[in-house]
Chain A
């Protein structure tokens, strides 16, 4: 139970983000989420998209180095303590979170979506499901 995240290598200088989003727009890729990790000279853009294959081929054709990794998508109730509950479940299961980010679905579902990068997706998903926390899959991402 995981979703696909595309990580793109980009340089840290003016115009490169614009150029990359332009490429995705040209390719007709709809982004669900976009986040950026950076150092002083390069960065990794991590994106969740409606169509992984289309996004990947579009980026490849434009010469971008990128990789696809499996991450965990979790629907978090959009209310105080929502995220905390999720993290408690992961902590109890001794799952280390490498990084995470939150995005809001554009349909009003009453949930925020959290993407977790963890070592073992299956173990983390099981720990969350046990507590009644909804883990989403790629099909759901496409529908969002």
Chain B
């Protein structure tokens, strides 16, 4: 039987959800206009006042907020409540630049934890469960978010945080943990370690896992489900919006329900910013309509995604998003096919090449060309021309099956691909369109 943390919200009618969104968005726009000069300026630049936003149908009029805005406004520029009303900060890892620091009032923490509680119950959790939170605790939102959600559900919570894998397994076994929360890669590692310790899935009490904070494939899900003997559920979130629990998977395991009473989701064309109809693939944009301290209007996640409002077998009515398919800031469209450098990197690594590569896209006689330049390494080099050509062909075949597109592979001299001090320049797009 499907369980809900807040059934009246999670299974509300579409009309009810729209009514909440209309009311809350109008209120939120007024709130930022009054309290955040940065937003007011952005709205004024577009000739907008709060009166222009009468319902969620007017959302598209508002300017976007990007990660660059967050950096520019760091640390207090987007805070909408006096600091004395704020009770917590959380922060991003800062892997793509300066850290983003997000602020929370007690109300914000409550709503965030509600979202995580919904995720835990959607994974079958009740107050009889023992929930082990092996996400990191601290600035990272994973640990604190799921910890709070687990409390709200009433689970006995084991706050192990990440690391010390044998101890994790000891707690799972000795304290009969039934739910595990961590990143999918850590779940896979825990499974591997269990195997090494000679434990089989039926010797451990786990029944479900809630895994997020990084991209993972369906193949990885199957793998984790088999090694741990559990059902593995995806959870999605961003520190900028609150943390994990912006959306979560239900028993159907066919997408993540977005908590639409707190977040309005849009899919836009990443190039034009135009809102795309339901079912289109595009960049995911969120507006937080209930956050007090750090409200974001039309925040561009850079995640490429699709939304569906098709009826879900779990009974929830909130829109579902698919697993993010990549990031819009590095997506290329080559001969009409979407290509992400990360896909190319995966193929290279699988074939034993180093991650020193460059992708050159050009247009020759009206046809896009994709040239993947890879640095030759002492390990890959041989005097045998045929052997090198064979490996090159294997790489071309590997790229074709991953991308669905013919690519050329050029072997280049070691260190010939320019290194930069910041993020590597992976893509050179020479097309003039």
Q: Does B423 contact A (CB under 8 A)?
A: no
List residues of chain B with CB within 8 A of the CB of A69.
383
Q: Is the CB of A65 within 8 A of B378?
A: yes
Q: Is the CB of B414 within 8 A of A65?
A: yes
Chain A 65-120 interface residues, beta-carbon cutoff 8 Å to B: 65-67, 69, 98, 117
Chain A 33-74 interface residues, beta-carbon cutoff 8 Å to B: 37, 39, 41-42, 44, 46, 63-67, 69
Q: Does A11 contact B (CB under 8 A)?
A: yes
Report which of B376, B382, B389, B416 forms a contact with A39, defined as CB distance below 8 A. B389
Of B14-22, B283-291, B396-404, B405-413, the one touching chain A: B405-413
Chain A interface, DSSP helix/strand/loop, else mixed: strand
Q: Is the CB of A41 within 8 A of B413?
A: no
Q: Name A46's closest neighbour in chain B (CB-CB).
A: B383
List residues of chain B with CB within 8 A of the CB of A23.
none
Closest-CB distance, A119 to chain B (whole angstroms)? 11
Q: Name B411's closest neighbour in chain A (CB-CB).
A: A42
1/0 per residue, CB under 8 A from A, across B316-341: the answer is 00000000000000000000000000
Q: Is the CB of A65 within 8 A of B413?
A: yes
In the complex where A9-B376, A11-B416, A65-B376 touch, is A41 in contact with B382 (Cβ < 8 A)? no
Chain B interface, DSSP helix/strand/loop, else mixed: loop
Closest-CB distance, A139 to chain B (whole angstroms)? 22
List residues of chain A with CB within 8 A of the CB of B415.
63
Q: Does A10 contact B (CB under 8 A)?
A: yes
Q: Is the CB of A41 within 8 A of B410?
A: yes
List residues of chain A with CB within 8 A of the CB of B382.
67
Q: Name B410's closest neighbour in chain A (CB-CB).
A: A41
Q: Number of B residues whose C-beta is below 8 Å from A?
A: 17
Q: Is the CB of A66 within 8 A of B416?
A: no
Q: Does B377 contact A (CB under 8 A)?
A: yes
Closest-CB distance, A103 to chain B (whole angstroms)? 18
In the complex where A9-B376, A11-B416, A39-B389 touch, is A67 in contact with B410 (Cβ < 8 A)? no
Q: Name A98's closest neighbour in chain B (CB-CB).
A: B384
Chain A 2-20 interface residues, beta-carbon cutoff 8 Å to B: 5, 7, 9-11, 16
Q: Is the CB of B385 within 8 A of A10?
A: no
Q: Is the CB of B383 within 8 A of A11?
A: no
Closest-CB distance, A56 to chain B (whole angstroms)? 12
Chain B 174-203 interface residues, beta-carbon cutoff 8 Å to A: none
Q: Is the CB of B381 within 8 A of A67?
A: yes
How long is the Cα–Cα vector from A117 to B383 in the complex, in angstroms?
10
Report which of B383, B385, B413 forms a contact with A67, defined as CB distance below 8 A. B383
Tell which of A46, A64, A65, A69 has the most Cβ of chain B within 10 Å.
Answer: A65
Chain B 354-389 interface residues, beta-carbon cutoff 8 Å to A: 376-378, 381-385, 388-389
- List residues of A whose CB falls within 8 A of some B CB: 5, 7, 9-11, 16, 37, 39, 41-42, 44, 46, 63-67, 69, 98, 117
Q: In the A-B complex, list the 9 residue pairs whose CB atoms are closest, starting with the nearest.
A: A7-B383, A65-B381, A41-B410, A9-B376, A69-B383, A42-B411, A65-B376, A11-B413, A9-B381
- In the assembled complex, 25 residue pairs joining A and B whose CB atoms fall closer than 8 Å, in A order, are A9-B381, A9-B411, A10-B413, A11-B411, A11-B412, A11-B413, A16-B413, A37-B385, A41-B410, A41-B411, A42-B376, A42-B388, A42-B410, A42-B411, A46-B383, A63-B414, A64-B414, A65-B376, A65-B377, A65-B378, A65-B381, A67-B378, A67-B382, A69-B383, A117-B383
